[in-house]
Structures are given as C-alpha cells and as structure tokens.
Amino acid sequence: MLVHSPRARLAVQAAFFALFLPVFALPFLVIVAASLATGWSGAFPSGATLDHYRAVTHGDALDALTTSVLTAVAASAAALVTGTWAALAARGTRARRVVDLLFVLPVAVPSVVVGLSLLVAFSKPPFLLNGTPAIVVLAHTILVTAFAYQSVAAALDRLDPACEQAAASLGAGPLRVLVQVKLPLLLPSLSAAAGLCFALSMGELSATMMLYPPDWLPLPVKVFASTDRGALFPGAALAVVLMVTTLLALFAVSRIRTKAAYR
Amino acid sequence: MSTGIRFDGVSVAYGGNTVLESFGLTVEPGEFMALLGPSGSGKTTALRAVAGFVRPTAGRVFIGDRDVTDLPPHRRGIGMVVQQYALFPHMKVDANVAFGLKARKAPRSEIAARVAEALEMTGMSAYAGRYPRELSGGQQQRVAVARALAVRPGVLLLDEPLSALDAQLRSGMLAELARLHRELPDVSMLYVTHDQIEALTLADRIAVMDGGRLQDCGTPQDLYRRPGTAFTASFVGGANLLPVTVADGGGVHLGGTRLDVAAGGAAAGAPATLCVRPHLVGLGEGPNALRGTVAEVQWRGATHRLCVDVAGHRVTADLRELRETPPLGTEVTVHFAAHDAVLLPAGAGGGEGRG
Amino acid sequence: MASTEAVSGGPPAALPRVRVPAWTLVLPPVAALGLVFLHPLALVLWQSVSPEGGGHGFSAYADVFAQAAFRDALLNTVLIAAGSTAGSLVLGFALALVIAFVPFPGGKAVGRFIDVFLSFPSFLITLALLFVYGSAGMANGMWSGVTGAATGPFDFLHTPWGVLLAEITYFTPFVMRPLLGAFSQLETAQLDVAASLGAKAPRIVRQVILPEALPALAAGGSLVLVMCLNEFGIVLFTGAKGVTTLPVLVYGKAILDGDYTGACVVAVVNIALSLALYGLYRMLTTRMDGVRRARA
C-alpha cells in the first residue's frame, strides 16, 4: 500500500476515476447512447429510436455482420492451426529462434502494407485472389497468426514436460501424446488464443480497406462507409453490434477455458 | 522371465558439461537397486538414460538383452514414477491407469480388469472415478504407481517418488513400496533418491553416486558396515572420519594415540582414514580410548550428540540420552570397539564426517 | 520376456531407422507463411524499385521523396507516434500505479475492462470522439447551451490533436498491461519497508517503483510506438484532409490513385521505420523475463 492516510487514498481514487471513466468508459457509453438516438442536442442524445438496430436485422448490415463473423471464424481457425503447428514443431529445437522471429513479424509490419503486399502478389494468375473473399480471409489470417503463435508458444513454455514424458514412458507414440495429452493440456490457452484472434479479426479495418471486394464487405468497413457519408447514428448501432458480437465470442471462449482448467 | 538393466560405460553431457561419466552398473532381474547420491551426482540422469529422455554421448543401455540406447522412450517397455506424480489432470484415475494399456494396444477386453488389478494393488480402487486434483499427494502418487504397473513393465523406474510427500505419508509409502517389491518379484526396480533411509529400507543393493560417477555399490549392510570410500561412509549413515597412519605390527596412530584396529594388509607408515559410526562411540573408559574436550552438546530427544575435540579432530558420539551432560570444555574420554571401526585407504575422500 | 509382450507391435530393437530431424516439422507452417506473407513483402520491395516506365532503379523513390505530401506524412507519422507514445506512457503509468498500489473495490473489474478494451478495434475511439467533440457533439452542445453561441469552441478533431487524443486513449491500456504485470511481481514488503524508513509516497514511486517498472515501460512504450506508426483506422475515421500519415498515404496511393509503385515506396519506408523500432522492442522484451507481452 502506497498511500496510508485514508483521506489521501480517497483523493487518489477520486482522481483515478475522474481520469479513467471519461477517457476509457465514456467512449463506449457515448456510442451506445448514440446508437439509440437520431440526433444530439445539447449534452445528451435525443430522439430515442430502435430503427438503427432494426436495420441491422436485414439487408446490407446483416450481410456485413455475417461476412465479418465468417471471416473471423475462418481466419481464427486457420491462424490457430498454423500457429499451433509452428509453436509445437519449433519447441525445443534449434529452429525456435528463427520461427519466433518469423511468426511475430506480421505484428511489426503495418496492416495496410500487408494488404498492399497481397494486392501486389495475388492480382495475377496463377494466384488470382484479388476480388475474392479469400484474399480478405487470407489477410486476416496473416495478421492474427502472430498472436495465435505467441499465445501457444508461451503456453508451451509453461507446460511441464513431466506429463508428456510420463505418457511416452507408458508407450504412447508422439501422435498419441500430442492428441491425448498435449492438446488437452493446452486447451485453455488455445481457447484464449481463439478468442483473441476472433476479436482482432472482427475489428480489422486497415488491410480490409485495401482488399475487400464489393460482395464481401465486413462490418468495420460498413461502419466506416456509414460514418463517412455522415450517417453517424446508424454507424454507432453497427459499432455496438460489432462490440457485442466480439464480447459474446470472448465470453463463450472464457466459458470453455474455465471448464477446461477446472476439469 | 524378467528383465534387468545394464549400463555399459554410459556418459551424458549437456553442452560440454559432463553430468554422467563412464557409468557402468547392472541391475539384476527382479532386483531393487537404489541410486543414492547428493543433488547433481548424476543419479537422475542415469535413470533418464534408461527411460530414454537423455541420449548418452557414449556407452550403451540395455534392458534385458535388448540394446535400447537408440530407441525412443515409448518403445522401451518401462514403467516410470516421478516426484511430481505427472498424472494427466484432464483424465480420471481409471483413465490415467488405462492410458498405458491403450497406448500399448492391449486387448480391449483386458483393459478394465488390469486397471482394476493395478488400482487394487495400490489400494486406490475406491478412487477410480475421481480426477487427480481431487486426491491428496499420497493418493496421487499411488495412482502414478498403479499407472506404471498396469502395463506390467519388466522395469520400473522411480525418480524420487517420495520427495514431495510429508514425513508421515512418506513412511507409509515406504512400506507400500517394499510390499510391492515383494509382490512383484519379476520386476526390476531402479530407485533414485538422495535419502539414505529410503535407500537402506528398500533396496537390495545401493549404488552410491557422486560427481557423475559411481562411487560404491553393494548391499545396504555392506555399505553401512564396510563402506569402500570415505564418501560412502559419510553419505550412508554418517561417520567419524579420522586421518591415521598405519602402525608397525598392526593398529594405527591417531596423532600420538595408538589404536587397536585391524589394519588388513596396509603397509606400516601408510596414511589411512579411520571410519567409526557415531552411535558406536561410547562415553567413558574402554578399548581404544580417546581423550578430548567437549566442544558441543546437542539434545536430540532419545539421544545426545556429543562433539569432542581429540587432538584437533572432531569426534562425534551419539549416546543414549544422558542424565547429566558434561559441560562444554570439560575433558572426557570416548571409546569404540575394534570391530566397529573400518580402515579406508587414504585419499578416498576425507574431511570430517557428517551426521 | 514380459516386457516385449507388453510392447507388442514395436519393431525389433536394433533395427536401424531412418529418422527425420524434429525441426523439419516446422517447414509446412513456415512455407505457408513464406508464400502468403514474406513473398508478397518481397514483391512490394521489388515493385518499389521497378518504375512504371520499365527497367529497375530508385527513380520512384526520388519521385516520392520529392513530394511535399510524402514529407508531411512522414513528419506527421513520427510526431503523432512520438506524442501518443509519450502521452500513453505518462497516463498508463499513473493509472497502473493506482490500480496496483492504492487498491480499491472494483480494481479487478477495471483490470478485466482493460483486457476487453484491448480486443476492440481502434476506430471505435474516433467514432466516440466524434460524438463527444464533434461539431454537433456533446461538448459543443453543452457550450452552446450555456453561452447561447451558435457553434462551440471544440474543433480539433480533424487536426493532428484529434488523432493524438484518440491514439493516447486507445494505446494507454497497452502500456498498462505489462506495467500491471511488473507491479504484481514487486514485493509489497519492499514498499512497507521503504515507508517504515520514513519515505513519502513520491519518493517511493521515484526510487523503488520506477526502477522496477522501467523495463516494462520501455517494452510497452516501444510496442505502442510501433503500433502508432502503423495506425490506420483512427486517422481514417477522423476524415481529416490535413492529417496524412504513412499508412494513409499507402492506402491513398494504391486504392484512390492506383499508383502501386508509389504506394510500394511509401510502404517500404513505413516497414523500415516499424521494423527498426520493433527490433528494439524485441530486444527489450527478451531482456525482461517473466513479464508477458501486452497482447499475448
């Protein structure tokens, strides 16, 4: 404890909330409030309405949500498989440092540039992906694989080798050890990584803006298009839908995690 | 029928650092062999070389008459129990025990019976449906033993299996392991420990290790009564180690005092180390009397430990609880019987004994 | 023999087996990464030295470097990134300090809120700021209500200051995460001893906490610096014509102008800047054991 006098402690805490709430909590409250309004008069939103949300239940907005969820699921799955494979294979070998470096590189490269590089590489045969949904999924996969790899590699470093060795001494070959011992023990970390990948993919805007074809328009692009033409309040509703979907996925994943951890 | 273990000049090095050097040892079929030594002595490395988790830089490892040096662990047909239990936390007790049977493709019809048998043997039948985290440390270790025994290995490797248990559980498990050894006369057991009581209680033979080398090997009685080196003497049971010279016509000199012990074939004038167990040293006049001053008195409940300075050497005596303890600095006499002393060639370790 | 019966199905012991080295298993994922990430990056580099007119050379670099728009964007990027990083470090350190050492009910919830915050996209912040400080937003609305003026005084959202505010808000939690990790490893006994020796809170912060937090601050700071250099969504959403950064310039050249070579040149500059800083970040994180990365 740093501050011992109760009055000083109260002052510090008051200062904390005076800073924390407006800076970090207010943005979300404002977006939620705006999504339920038609205008803003004075300090508060006005014209309460649910129209913006009704719009999400059909048409373009619903398509954008489906597109985003499909993209995020596909990208997370691909990233999880690639990242887990790489982390498992690199563990304890001399290749570890190189693989570590390669798989965190996408974090350092600007997402816009990742998008550009895919445009440059996959715009002509034999790899003609430009203009297809596949190029968006590919970009998201590249961007989130780094996080999947880092989570799994960190979890593997913490994994006690005693369990795998006990399994091997009992006669289990490498594949059986992987499927029946290592993967179940990694399940909490894997699910956490899946949640992170899903969330990052749901919110990805930079590379997507470079790549999206007209028939594959993810939610963040839709939010941008909406606000860019001045429709701020429907845009806020779309943003809320984006946040809620992300939260639901994170919540579902944390349920799996607690179940796996306490089994 | 049963399988032994043979180390043939096995060396292991990690990054140029030799942790096991030209280790040679044979565990007979059905024998209980303890590898005893301080931490860093290479005993766990030797066990892991049998399990296949470390690769020898030189030498071969045999299980029975199979050379297993190049085999991966899962093809060696061993059972292993480690200090931290290493149970699979996501499987219930019965699934843990069945794991090895399934891995070795035992007929499905047999698995249930053999799981039950292994759990019966370790007294864990009532816990088959529990998860490991619902069990105490001692129960988890029993499950680990059952899991290793269920596959009916020819060789059982135990790596400090009792170290994580508290003192009371440990003595209970000690008796259990001794019973298992009696009930499984065909299984060779290699037991790594730093605890001399465990080694003395359980083992048919003890291999004493230090500094990556085999120091001594023999039955517990031999090692205790006739240690081959000063290291063995001090590590197995604790000992007084006194530098002496062999006297003319038998006996030895400790400083100016002549002591009557069997010198064997040692040449007169040669330096040697005299080894006497503290509990065989008596207080008062007697044969081989040594005069000195009391330097330290420790009360240990049933015994008193007296440390006496004899001509610059510390002699420790463990005595039945004394009515009156001699004050520090007083002059006392201690003695020991000639047949309780062992004369070791000098240079085989040295220094004062530890308790 | 009992043991061989137990391992039925295994091959005879001494059979020489061709063994594949374990590290070869990393080849498939690495090859995949090479195909879809490294190879395209190499193509970007190649395109940047292959001007439209044919042949190869650095003429495209000379063209781009000569444009005022590029120099502005470079300067903007570096200044905004440096400013945002400094702001996030100060704010993050202060907030983490309170959470860790002046415990209050709900502190855990705040920690969890930060975790969730990290998983939301950055442009949400700009969107929110539009409602708070925008021309018809909350702050200006309050001002008009009080003073009766037709327009409010808050009109900085479309300037670099607006971007700076949004980036500080968004990236502060990225500084707090590693800091909270570092603080949780600090012995509270150390603080109590320091206090018992008569040290006041500011002195304890300066002489006990700050030295312990330095590695985490350095690592968090350089991560945020890299992310600021690469930030796109926040700048795009402000819709400010006057504020261009390197990522926005890449987008503009490639998508709006169709000038791929120019876009590639800017991209190479952006990558070089980010990689240099990311190298620094990795160096700092590998030095500080035990403190986990902000997002891992």
Whether the bond between A126 and the residue before it is cis, its omega within 30 degrees of 0, is: yes
Check if A167 contacts B (Cβ < 8 Å).
yes
Q: Is the pLDDT of residue A53 over 90?
A: no
Q: Which residues of C226-235 are buried (b: 16+ CB within 10 A; e: fewer)?
A: bbbbbbbbbb
> How near does any CA of chain A get to the CA of C233, in Å?
6
3-state secondary structure of A46: strand
> How near does any CA of chain B get to the CA of C142, in Å?
58
pLDDT digits (tens, 9 = 90+) for A67-108: 999 999 999 999 999 999 999 999 888 888 889 889 988 888
Structure-block tokens of residue B126: 């009532």
**A177 neighbourhood in chain B, CB within 8 Å:** 74
Question: What count of CB pairs under 8 Å joins A to C?
Answer: 262
Helices (H), chain A: 6-20, 26-35, 51-56, 59-90, 96-108, 111-121, 133-158, 161-169, 174-176, 183-203, 206-211, 219-228, 232-262
> Average pLDDT, whole number, for chain B?
89
The span from the CA of A203 to the CA of A218, in Å, is 9
A159 within some domain: yes
> How near does any CA of chain B get to the CA of A174, in Å?
8
3-state secondary structure of A44: strand
Q: What's the confidence (pLDDT) of residue B354?
A: 38
A118 within some domain: yes
For C230, the closest of A95, A111, A246 (CB atoms) is A111
- The residue among C101 and B308 whose pLDDT is bigger is B308
Mean pLDDT of B328-341: 91
Cα separations in angstroms, A145 against A84, A151, A191: 9, 10, 14
Mean pLDDT of B200-226: 92
- The residue among B189 and C280 whose pLDDT is bigger is B189
Q: What's the confidence (pLDDT) of residue C16?
A: 43
Domain parsing of chain B, residue ranges: 5-225, 230-345
CB–CB contact A86 C130 (8 Å) = no
Q: What's the confidence (pLDDT) of residue B350?
A: 41
Q: What's the confidence (pLDDT) of residue C12?
A: 38
Pairing of strands B188-193, B32-36: parallel
Q: Is the pLDDT of residue B341 over 70?
A: yes
A57 within some domain: no
Q: Are B118 and B153 in contact (CB under 8 A)?
A: no
CB–CB contact A173 B103 (8 Å) = yes
Q: Are B200 and B26 in contact (CB under 8 A)?
A: no
CB–CB contact B105 C9 (8 Å) = yes
pLDDT digits (tens, 9 = 90+) for A191-203: 989 999 999 999 9
Q: Is the pLDDT of residue B3 over 70?
A: yes
For B153, the closest of C6, C11, C17 (CB atoms) is C6
**Yes or no: is domain B5-225 CATH 3.40.50.300?**
yes
Check if C8 contacts B (Cβ < 8 Å).
yes
Nearest in space to C271 (alpha carbons), one of C254, C243, C250, C294? C250
Nearest chain C alpha carbon to B101: C6
Q: What's the confidence (pLDDT) of residue A195?
A: 92
β-bridge mates for residue B341, sequence order:
B276
Q: Are C102 and A1 in contact (CB under 8 A)?
A: yes
Q: Is the pLDDT of residue A177 over 80?
A: yes
Nearest in space to B294 (alpha carbons), one of B305, B303, B278, B282? B305
Percent of chain B with pLDDT over 70: 97
Check if A19 contacts C (Cβ < 8 Å).
yes
CB–CB contact C3 B155 (8 Å) = yes
Q: What's the confidence (pLDDT) of residue B127?
A: 95
> Average pLDDT, whole number, for chain A?
87
**A111 neighbourhood in chain C, CB within 8 Å:** 230, 232, 247
Give the structural domain span for A252.
67-262
Q: Is the pLDDT of residue B56 over 80?
A: yes
Mean pLDDT of B62-70: 92
Give contacts of C 204-243 with A, CB under 8 A. Answer: 204-205, 226, 229-230, 232-233, 236-237, 239
Nearest in space to C29 (alpha carbons), one of A103, A94, B120, A160? A103
Q: Indicate the angle between helix axes A111-121 and C39-48, nearest 10 degrees.
A: 80
Check if C6 contacts B (Cβ < 8 Å).
yes
Q: Token pair 């096995």 is at which residue?
A: B10
CA angle at residue B72 from B69 to B76, to 5 degrees?
Answer: 75
β-bridge mates for residue B8, sequence order:
B60
Mean pLDDT of A110-123: 92
Nearest in space to B216 (alpha carbons), one of B340, B349, B339? B349
CB–CB contact A82 C101 (8 Å) = no
Check if A69 contacts B (Cβ < 8 Å).
no
**B55 neighbourhood in chain C, CB within 8 Å:** none
Q: What's the confidence (pLDDT) of residue B147?
A: 94
Percent of chain B with pLDDT over 90: 63
Nearest in space to C121 (alpha carbons), one of B75, A144, B318, B277? A144
Q: Indicate the angle between helix axes C260-287 and C39-48, nearest 10 degrees.
A: 130
For C2, the closest of B70, B105, B186 (CB atoms) is B186
Nearest in space to A184 (alpha carbons), one of A154, A149, A159, A151? A159
Q: Is the pLDDT of residue B87 over 90?
A: yes
CB–CB contact A210 C255 (8 Å) = yes
At position B327, the amino acid (one-letter code) is P
Check if A173 contacts B (Cβ < 8 Å).
yes
3-state secondary structure of A39: strand
**pLDDT digit string (tens) for chain C, length 296 residues:** 333 333 333 333 344 445 667 778 889 999 999 999 999 999 999 888 887 777 777 888 888 888 888 998 999 898 999 999 999 999 999 888 888 888 777 777 888 888 888 888 998 888 888 888 877 777 777 777 777 776 667 777 778 888 899 999 999 999 988 888 888 877 777 777 877 787 777 888 888 888 888 888 888 888 899 889 989 999 888 876 678 899 999 998 888 888 888 899 999 999 998 888 778 777 776 665 444 433 33
A35 within some domain: no
Nearest chain B alpha carbon to C8: B104
CB–CB contact A3 C102 (8 Å) = yes
Nearest chain A alpha carbon to B95: A180
The span from the CA of A184 to the CA of A177, in Å, is 10
Mean pLDDT of B303-322: 90
Interface-testing mutation among A17, A176, A206, with chain C (most C C-beta atoms within 10 A): A206
- The residue among A40 and A182 whose pLDDT is bigger is A182
For A171, the closest of B87, B103, B144 (CB atoms) is B103
Interface-testing mutation among B88, B147, B155, with chain A (most A C-beta atoms within 10 A): B88
Check if A196 contacts C (Cβ < 8 Å).
yes
The span from the CA of B328 to the CA of A188, in Å, is 63
For A171, the closest of B131, B151, B157 (CB atoms) is B151
Interface-testing mutation among C119, C172, C175, C208, with chain A (most A C-beta atoms within 10 A): C119
Mean pLDDT of B209-225: 92
> How near does any CA of chain C get to the CA of A260, in Å?
19
> How near does any CA of chain C get to the CA of B135, in Å?
29
Q: What's the confidence (pLDDT) of residue C293?
A: 39
The span from the CA of C154 to the CA of C162, in Å, is 10
CB–CB contact C13 B3 (8 Å) = no
CB–CB contact A223 C236 (8 Å) = no
Q: What's the confidence (pLDDT) of residue B160?
A: 93
Residue B97: pLDDT band with limits 50, 70, 90: very high
Structure-block tokens of residue B33: 């062999």
Q: Is the pLDDT of residue B84 over 70?
A: yes
CB–CB contact B86 A263 (8 Å) = no
Interface-testing mutation among A160, A164, A170, with chain B (most B C-beta atoms within 10 A): A170
Q: What's the confidence (pLDDT) of residue C98?
A: 85
Q: What's the confidence (pLDDT) of residue A43?
A: 66
CB–CB contact C7 B104 (8 Å) = yes
Percent of chain A with pLDDT over 70: 97
Check if A172 contacts B (Cβ < 8 Å).
yes
CATH number at residue A149: 1.10.3720.10
Q: What's the confidence (pLDDT) of residue C19?
A: 61
Q: What's the confidence (pLDDT) of residue B69?
A: 93
Nearest chain B alpha carbon to A186: B90
Q: What pTM was estimated for this model as a whole?
A: 0.82
DSSP secondary structure string, chain C?
-HHHHHTTTPPPTT-------GGGGGHHHHHHHIIIIIHHHHHHHHHHTS-TTSS-SSHHHHHHHH-HHHHHHHHHHHHHHHHHHHHHHHHHHHHHHHHHHS--TTHHHHHHHHHHHHTS-THHHHHHHHHHHSTTSHHHHHHHHHH--SS-S---TTSHHHHHHHHHHHHHHHHHHHHHHHHHTS-HHHHHHHHHTT--HHHHIIIIIHHHHHHHHHHHHHHHHHHHHH--HHHHHHT-SS---HHHHHHIIIIIS--HHHHHHHHHHHHHHHHHHHHHHHHHHHHS-SPPPS--
> How near does any CA of chain C get to the CA of B234, in Å?
38
Nearest chain C alpha carbon to B103: C7
Domains assigned to chain C:
57-287 (1.10.3720.10)
End-to-end CA distance of chain A: 36
**Yes or no: is domain B230-345 CATH 2.40.50.140?**
yes
- How many domains does chain A divide into? 1
pLDDT digits (tens, 9 = 90+) for B236-294: 888 899 999 888 877 888 888 888 888 777 788 888 899 999 999 999 888 889 999 99
> How near does any CA of chain C get to the CA of B19, in Å?
24
